[in-house]
Structure 1
Amino acid sequence: MTDRVALVTGGSGGIGRATAERLAADGTAVGVHYAGNKDRALEAVAAIERAGGRAIAVGGDVADPDAMSEAFAAVETAFGGIDVVVHTAGVMLLAPVTEIDLDDLDRMHRTNIRGTVVVAQQAARRVRSGGAVILFSTSVTRLSLPTYGGYVASKGAVEALVPVLAREMRGRDVTVNAVAPGPTATPLFLDGKDQATIERMAAQAPLERLGEPADIAESVAFLAGPARWVNGQVLFANGGIA
């Protein structure tokens, strides 16, 4: 066991849950954040505890600074501080640029941009020396796939934020990076796609498969722990697709 503590937003499912479980396996105490599904977060906590780890569930809208302040405070109260913040929570709504519903665009930007800034603000104020802040982008910022315009615009903003925040953390011994997954077998990616589309996208990577949440969690664990000389970067975890 270690004395390190992490908060993983969107930790109740998909990449977030895999990340929470991976960090817990390293001995890190984990705050498993959820936005609306407390039961799934409690399931993740129970799975971590069954494996011998330490975890609590914390809720809140990532775009609400008061809610996120309370979530961070709950983790600090339970475990004594925060060393790692992993912000996986996000929304993806697809449409051609000419057909984007502006309400959908506002929803994505509220969660993916404002939410990232809110979480980054709390992380910058609270993460202890030697810690890490890990945000999430997407490999689609390089693939330029049709219908992803609004989503990519929101994640491009996250990539632009990373090196700026890394420099603003000068003197704190805290790294700031982002992970940009490629096609990964999660509901966020799979929902709304037919089997032919899924197979075609899986075949694009030289490794000829979709990523698994555990693959992305390994990249996060690298940035959260041993990768102290990686800072201000976007790590593309996509099996070579881009």
Structure 2
Amino acid sequence: MKPLGPGAAGAAIYRTSISHVRHSPLKNAFTYRSYSWLVDVDELPRLPRLLRPLAGFRSADHLGDPDASIRANVERFLRTQGVTPDGGRIHMLASARVLGYVFNPLSIFWCYRAGGELECVVAEVHNTYGERHCYLLRTDQAGRASVPKAFYVSPFNDVSGQYRMKLPPPGERLAVSVVLEREGHRPFVATMDGRRQPATIRSILAAALAVPAAPLLVSALIRVQGIKLWARRLPVVTRPHHPSQEAVQ
């Protein structure tokens, strides 16, 4: 079956397995299945009317001005970080809005130069308190980069430590990992793996049936795991004030 329309010709769906492993101070691990979209921000898919509740893409679901385009907002953020965009492609990996709801613990933007070489990667992190933070990463040939943690995500982890991320541009396989490092140990590791499928009516329906209301399910699973950790008396860390980044709302 052909991809959906000219605007979605390069879009893909990754049926993913996502794993969270906490090593300290308590051990806890869980894995769940979901799916993510890989899209060119200039060619966002527009589904047939009857399927639109299954996948929507809005600027308001990501960094920056909700009335501007995703590209404009990413480029504005890049400029605040000393990067001058030249109109190269921007590929976004994210969950789409499903049945009017969206939750993206991590959205990734691969930002290319006009000549095709990768300039940088933006990792946009959301927490369950409605806040977001963007990390600019200069990845190596394997997609690896490190950055100080600067954002409160889990109520059981403060903002100390260093993230070691591996975010290679996805091809047939998606393989993303985020490791929190502190003083020689790794209290938390998250991975996301998946296989690429072209975005067709068949693949969209199959993903939606396999993981109904995926963003809502992911949000609920994260909260359930938090309740379990709280029940095991893992100390809660007070959430600090998070000042909004320039160009990130």
What's the TM-score, normalizing by structure 1?
A: 0.31
Larger Rg: 1 or 2? 2
| Higher relative contact order (Cα pairs below 8 Å, separated by 6+ residues) | 2
What's the TM-score, normalizing by structure 2?
A: 0.30
Going by fraction, where is strand more abundant, 1 or 2? 2
